[in-house]
Amino acid sequence: MADKQGSADDSIVVAQAKTAEPREAADEIARQLAPARLAMAIVFVSPFYDPEVFIAELSARMPDLPIFGCTTAGELSPGGWDEDSVVAMGFTAADFVIAARPLFDLSTFRVDRGRAICTELHQEFRDRTEHWEPGQDAFGLLFIDGMCQREETIISAIYTALEDIPIVGGSAGDGLRFEKSWVFHGGKAHTDAAVLILIKTRLPFRLFKCDHFEPTETKMVVTEADIEHRIVKELNAEPAALEYSRAVGLSDTKLELFSFAAHPVLVRVGGSYYARSIQRTNPDGSLQFFCAIDEGMVLTVARERDPIDATSRALKDMTDELGEVSLFIGFECLLRRLDVEQHQLTREMSELYRRNRVIGFQTYGEQYRSMHVNQTLTGVAIGKRAVAPQ
């Protein structure tokens, strides 16, 4: 049984449960969130629990509260990195107003349909926030089925409809199984779906992203690919796995998830580099990616920096910018965690997250504004309220 975690100024109430059964976890989360008057709750649920049972039970206990979220590849809890738990955040009605929409049938998702849904959501959001005083900003959270392979298409449709509202989020996980992931909306767990939440707040906030890689001079060009399924067949006109192994200095017989975690590649977009991670080697020697790829794309081999130092600097920069941070809502790539574990820095990173109140989940991919990325920590730093709401 977990105790109520609270938050630095109670604008966001944080809860956690680690129990044997999903019904007990729902009881625990509902108990911890119940005292606050909330605009919504977000829950990140380990695949240790049956997601359909959990969300049905939690929604039955809090029937008037909008509840969103997804399954995870690990949880970012009040105590740091965690597994086999439920982490929840309750956003108080005094400081937040929200509007949300689900996106279903992602396997047949069309950009025009996505734009129509998001345009409708944007109008509802404007109607709900028109009485709020000017100058208060908005952001969006996006949770997507991590097995859908449609993140880039979805974020493209969203961005054309939402004007200047920035988006962050993550792709739902399934531990290390990569079989089935779920998102939550309307008291149910959905696959092949996403949920977009628009949020306006009285509190200061900043979006952020952090990785610990820098580009090298080594380049590879995608010369043959199955674009629809994110499969690279050839790099530099050579079998993809063999050429990748040569470029990063690995034996192709040792390629596994931990290898890919330690050796991501980077793509340059608009003057900045973004990580692109590989999920697995296929039997034919091709490479399955977590992000969209295209023929002619130039992949740059990455060099690692100290992950603790890079993350600490990013969190400090946000704290310096906001003056004081109440909470970091974080979405962290599973491969980032695996890489840190290989360097035997788990305790240090977990403690850094605990000390800075980084709450969220580990993902199969991260959204940052108009980009879908890998091996990155993205999120929103929430500052403290300057003046108590009237």
Q: Summarize pLDDT for 315-367 with one digit per residue, the tens.
A: 999 999 999 999 999 999 999 999 999 999 999 999 999 999 999 999 999 99
- Classify the C-alpha dihedral 164-75-21-171 as positive or negative: positive
Tokens in use for 254? Answer: 């040792």
Residue 105: pLDDT over 60: yes
Percent helix, strand, coil in the chain (nearest 5)? 30, 40, 35
**SS3 (DSSP) at 82:** strand
pLDDT at 255 over 90: no
202 DSSP β-pair partners: none
Distance of CA 47 to the CA centre of its chain: 16
Answer whether 12's CB lies under 8 Å from 92's CB: yes
61-65, 88-92, 163-167, 305-309, range with the lowest pLDDT: 163-167
> Which residues does residue 139 pair with via DSSP β-bridges, in sequence order?
199
β-pairing verdict for 366-368 and 371-373: antiparallel
**DSSP tag of 219:** E
Pairing outcome for strands 38-45 and 67-71: parallel
- Mean pLDDT value across residues 92-106: 96
Q: Pick the closest to residue 113 from 75, 171, 154 (CA basis).
A: 154
Query: Does the structure show a pLDDT above 50 at 140?
Result: yes
Task: Find the angle CA(116)-CA(228)-CA(292) to the nearest 5 degrees.
Answer: 80
Which pLDDT does position 387 carry in this prediction? 55
Question: In the predicted model, is pLDDT for residue 2 greater than 60?
Answer: no
Which residue(s) pair with 138 in the sheet? 200
Count CB neighbours of 36 within 10 A.
21
Which residues have a Cβ under 8 Å from the Cβ of 351 and sit 6 or more positions away? 80
CATH of domain 213-303: 2.40.30
Determine contact, residues 19/48, Cβ cutoff 8 Å: no
379 has a pLDDT exceeding 90: yes
Q: CATH 2.40.30 in the chain: give the residue spans.
A: 213-303
Residue 217 has pLDDT above 90, yes or no: yes
Which residues are CB-neighbours of 297 under 8 A, at least 6 positions away? 221, 222, 267
Dump the DSSP string for 85-150.
-EEEEEEETTTEEEEEEEE--GGG--HHHHHHHHHHHHHHHHHHHTTSPTT--EEEEEEE-TTS--
Quick one: pLDDT band at residue 57, thresholds 50, 70, 90? very high
